[in-house]
Structure 1
Amino acid sequence: MMKSTSLHVPYGSTGYFSRTVSDYLHREPALSPFYRHQPDLEGIKAAIAARKNFATPRTLLKEVLLSQYEGLPVSGELAKNIGLLENENTFTITTAHQPNIFTGPLYFIYKILHAVKLAAELNEQISDARFVPVYYMGSEDADLEELGYINVGGQKLVWETKQTGAVGRMKVDKALIKILNAIHGQVGVLPHGEELISLLQQCYTEGKTIQQATLELVNALFGSYGLVVLIPDHARLKTAFHDVVKKELEEGFSHRLVADTIDRLKSNYKVQAGGRDINLFYLLDDKRERIEKEAQGDKYDVKALDLSFSKEEILQELQQHPERFSANVILRGAFQETVLPDVAFIGGGGELAYWLELKDVFDAVNVPYPVLVLRNSFLLLSEEQLHKTESLGFTPDELFQSEHELMNRLVGRHSDHQLQLTDEISEAENYYHKLAGLAGKIDATLVPHVKALQEKAISRLQELEKKMLRAEKTKFDTQQRQLQTLRAQVFPGNNLQERVENMALWYAKYGRSWLNLILDQSEGLRQEFTILTVAGNGK
């Protein structure tokens, strides 16, 4: 039997999110010029109105999806949602992510279930429209170093393959099967371990592309919720983006717009990378390489492939082979929003920071800009970890504080000695204030000297306070080791759990009921961090 308790805390109180994210959630005026709609129900309605003025290629989208799902099991809810996409009153709630092997970090699961939950909530709240959750697969990403590993039970498992290019086009090989066997060794004895391994083995068969394996796995996990998976690495889909790619090749328009936005943003916020003069890659078989335009003239080079095109030749190449042109992060969002009838995009803090740089790019090509929604975040605790937290005298939300801060509080609560010199420091300040008055009456030039003596004395007292606390901490060695172990489990590498751990152990213990629990605890437009304690034996 699976049971749970939850606690919601503001994102800002965790210490793991940027000022950009915090200000966006608090709707600070300084950020308002960089997005179109507020992340609330009224913002969704405004996005719907804007989307209705855009000619989404709905029939093309449906046909591509039907061909993509051919031969795969399709749930009734999924089949209904694919059919609904042709309807002008149907809109998508989209999240995007690269095809990390075996789903990668936990937040891959969280953002997909967030899309499912938000679509369901909007279907209840807006009666004259329908909403479909979509996972848009960034399969053309070539960063294998980021996508080719997972962490299971504290062990990092790395895919050692010699393949190159778009990760989605890579194929399952013996090296990847070796990782699958390692996962089996970690989870096989758990109640749903064999179920998980069987599923992974069914999806990741040797010779299958990573994007196909990811499609099958995500469909098996979430298809029953009606989630639609879209692989955009498709020639027919890219024909719908032809005019934007042509504009980028001819004008390099996106870089100038993003550079201007960054200039306006960076006075208050840390900005993301600004892209390149041409924000397109050339995608050919197992290669994905930069397209560069000479500063003078109309020559385009793909230097890594030793290819060169005149303007006429590269536009002809675009016409004949649209699948060979791949948008980088600056143009990917515009492609996504061109082929999907999207009204909300769910992304992490880094993704939202990128999107805040892109509104002018969308405006330049007349593509509707969606509502930006920060994805849900969870911290998962076992019942044992909760009990350990409480035995140390803390609540789960206090675990976000550093080990140093927590130990200071623990020692302060349980020590029999005075460890703070607040009153003594205050008395010293009063003493030197009085002394400065006396000296000043004799000679005003003596006051700075007294002030210097005061600063030195206060500094010595503060250092003494630290030494007293440090000495007292040695009496709480057992509690400190317990706290260190607990925080290392909950915040692996001092990072958020969701950014490090894979779903394998949680699914292997609780099965599909764990997915249902995360879905149930997910929030649509309410933006808070959830601490979730999971208890039970998983059976």
Structure 2
Amino acid sequence: MPTRCTTLPYAETGAFSSLLTDYLAQKPALAPFYNRFPALENFAAQMEEKQAAYTPEARERLVSALREQYGTAPTAIEANLQLLAQPTTFTVTTGHQLNLLTGPLYFIYKIVSAIKLSRQLKEAHPQHDFVPVYWMATEDHDFAEINHFSLFGKTYAWDAANPGGPVGRLPLDGFADQLLSQLPPEVPAAFHEAYADSKTLAEATRKLADSLFGEFGLVTIDADRPALKQAFVPVLEKEIKEQVSNAAVQATNARLAAAGYKPQVYSRPINLFFITDEGKRERLEPDANGADCVEVTVRNTARCHNQEELLALARQHPEQFSPNVVLRPVYQEVLLPNLVYIGGAAEVAYWFQLKDVFAAFGVPYPMVLPRNSAEYISRANSGKLKKLGLDGREIFRPLPELKKQVGTALGQEEISLKEQQQALAAAFQQVQDLAQRLDPTLVKTVAAEAQKAAAGLAGLEKRLSKASEAKHETAYAQLTALKEKLFPGGGLQERSENVLSILINNPGFIEQLLDAFEPLALEFTVLEEE
């Protein structure tokens, strides 16, 4: 289905934070919080820095773990696994929670951004290779955040028993009966098969990503694996002994606040979780018990270890440790030959808290690139816009402004009694001056009458405006309904709609996104069906 692509600055959408728009504008106040701005000319230096720090052992560990994860990989993914074994190959990474059936649209937009940028980097640097990577957040334990999704106005939820452990390990017991059987019959078979053929939520999410993006060579990684956690041991040791990440974040937070920006995530004294024998993911909390002994408690358990015991555990069983939001990016960058992380506005904000954390652990800090954002307008909705005299870019403006524009196009007379109000105020001012000369006690009476007359005139203006609007009530109702359709609940479509709402009627949607997205252009995309 053919589409027309236009763009507009993120600031003009009214949907993004000042931190993001200031970053895209390269405001000097934010320069200390990132390494290199995501521009094509800056990637050569990023490659040089990463290549110097990323060892052959790290690459061998990564490829070995990925081959174990995949077993037999689809053709394009296998080709990229072979490339990852080469010292001239880098990754372009995005990450996301294990949302059911891909969750909101921006999951798709993140991955398409990574695939498209990988292609563009290959064109600019043909002597190197670039592999798009989707980092599954399999160790998150907030099941309530991911156990549902919306499609065609209906919410689908999975009511599973969750022990509070990594969601990627959740067995799919009851998933087919509870959720898959309730889906509309038009849902492509791949969405059913990914879950029906998998044992855990992590496996199902990877298989669905393979089905949607495997032909483009997307490599999906589940880092909740003992072999990969071995690479995290030096970070674990330093965090346990020195607790450096919290100090680094707190110092950065103070500088962000001084620059006028609010920190996005909360840092803790130890930014690690411990995965218990029962499979729960609990925080590590330090307790000072005397000058020579610091014990660390595993929250909600009876476990307590001194520093040496905890270090021994980290060295022997690093898979029992799990990074929180502060150290997860460090773990990612230790494992991958990565150049750039692609994330949403909130992710960009919390990555800006982490530059000094990376420095503390001696890990190169990647570029941070906002993912592509988009508004998809179906043929039916595009037709409605045209009938109202609007286009896809204009629909982002506030509803009152749009009503005014539509009213003008329909010939509605603009009602304003501003001049009459001014004349009335001038007349009463003359009366008030006269009262002041003849009897000052009447000044308050005149002022009260002036206020009453002004209020009456304002009321007449509203009634006249309503009478004028009534002539075009149908058009305004259509505009209001269209605005709500394209911006559900007043927010961006991409934050609530599922890809199936488009893919069912437009199977070529992902290819259209690949054609339309320009990750380094840093503009919001509007796709309209023609």
Contact preservation (8 Å) 1:255, 1:274:
no
Indicate the larger mover: 469-478 or 7-16.
Answer: 469-478
CA distance, structure 2, for counterparts of residue 325 and residue 501 of structure 1: 35
Output aligned runs, 1:23-422, within 5 Å: 23-56=22-55, 57-71=58-72, 73-75=73-75, 77-164=76-163, 165-175=165-175, 177-183=177-183, 186=184, 188=185, 190=186, 193=187, 196=188, 198-205=189-196, 208-267=199-258, 268-284=260-276, 286-296=279-289, 297-414=293-410, 416-421=412-417
Structure 1 residues 89, 472: CA separation in 2 closer, same or farther (over 3 Å shift)?
A: same
Aligned sequence identity (%): 37
- In 2, the alpha carbon distance for the partners of 1:464 and 1:69 equals 72
> How far 1:60 sits from its partner (Å)?
0.5
Q: 1:260 to 1:470 in 2, by over 3 A?
A: farther
**Could you tell me how far apart the structure 2 residues matched to 1:467 and 1:24 are?**
45
Shift of 1:216: 1.0
Paired amino acid for 2:308: E
Partner of residue 526, structure 1: 521
Residue matched to 2:509: 514
TM-score scaled by length of structure 2 = 0.90
- Flag the 1:423–1:295 CA change in 2: closer, same or farther, 3 A: farther
**Size of the alignment, in residue pairs?**
517
CA contact (8 A) 2:412 2:469 kept: no
Letter in 1 for 2:220: V
Q: How much does 1:485 deviate?
A: 2.0
TM-score (norm 1): 0.89
Query: In the TM superposition, what is the alpha-carbon distance from 1:455 to its structure 2 partner?
Result: 10
Query: Offset at 1:457?
Result: 8.7
Task: Give yes or no for contact 1:177–1:206 (8 Å, CA) kept in 2.
Answer: no
1:482 partnered with 2:478? yes
Preserved CA contact (<8 Å) 2:382 2:529: no
Residues 44-67 of structure 1: CA distance to partner in whole angstroms, max 9, x if unpaired? 222112112213410100100111
2:198–2:204: 8 Å Cα contact kept in structure 1?
no
How far off is 1:175 after superposition?
4.1
Change (3 A) 1:452 1:61: farther
- 1:334, 1:367 within 8 Å by CA — same for their partners in 2? yes
Q: Aligned AA for 1:384?
A: A
Tell me if structure 2 keeps the 8 A contact 1:47–1:369.
Answer: no
Deviation at 1:453, TM superposition (A): 11
In the alignment, is the contact (CA less than 8 A) between 2:412 and 2:468 conserved in 1? no
Asked if structure 1 preserves the Cα contact closer than 8 Å seen for 2:197 and 2:204, the reply is no
Q: Distance in 2 between matches of 1:401 and 1:20?
A: 21
- Alpha-carbon deviation of 1:260? 1.3
Report the residue type matching 1:273 in the other structure: V
Closer, same or farther: CA 90–425 of 1 in aligned 2, 3 Å: farther
Query: Given that residues 255 and 278 in structure 1 are in contact (C-alpha distance below 8 angstroms), is that contact kept between their aligned partners in structure 2?
Result: yes
What's the CA shift for 1:238?
1.2
Kindly provide the amino acid, as one letter, of the partner of residue 520 in structure 1. Answer: D
User: Given that residues 487 and 493 in structure 2 are in contact (C-alpha distance below 8 angstroms), is that contact kept between their aligned partners in structure 1?
Assistant: yes
Q: Which amino acid aligns with 1:409?
A: Q
Partners of 1:219 and 1:126 in 2: CA distance: 26
1:459 and 1:96 map into 2 onto residues whose CA distance is: 56
1:446 maps to which residue?
Answer: none
Greater CA deviation, 419-428 or 52-61? Answer: 419-428
Secondary structure class of the residue paired with 1:60: helix
Q: Could you list the per-position Cα deviations for residues 440-462 of structure 1 after superposition, in whole angstroms to 9, with x for gaps in the alignment?
A: xx9xxxxxx99999999988876
Aligned CA distance change for structure 1 residues 471 and 230 (closer, same or farther; 3 Å):
same
Gap change, CA 1:303 and 1:534, over 3 Å in 2:
same
Query: What 5-or-longer segments of structure 2 have no aligned partner?
Result: 438-443
> Using a 3 Å threshold, how does the CA distance of structure 1 residues 216 and 258 change in structure 2: closer, same or farther?
same
The verdict on how the C-alpha distance between 1:65 and 1:426 changes in structure 2, with shifts beyond 3 A counting, is farther
Q: Which moved more, 1:105-114 or 1:453-462?
A: 453-462
Quickly say closer, same or farther: Cα 1:460–1:129, change in 2 above 3 A. Answer: farther
Query: What's the CA shift for 1:465?
Result: 4.5
Instruction: Give the drift of 1:508.
Output: 2.0
1:360/1:463 Cα in 2 relative to 1: closer, same or farther (>3 Å)?
Answer: farther
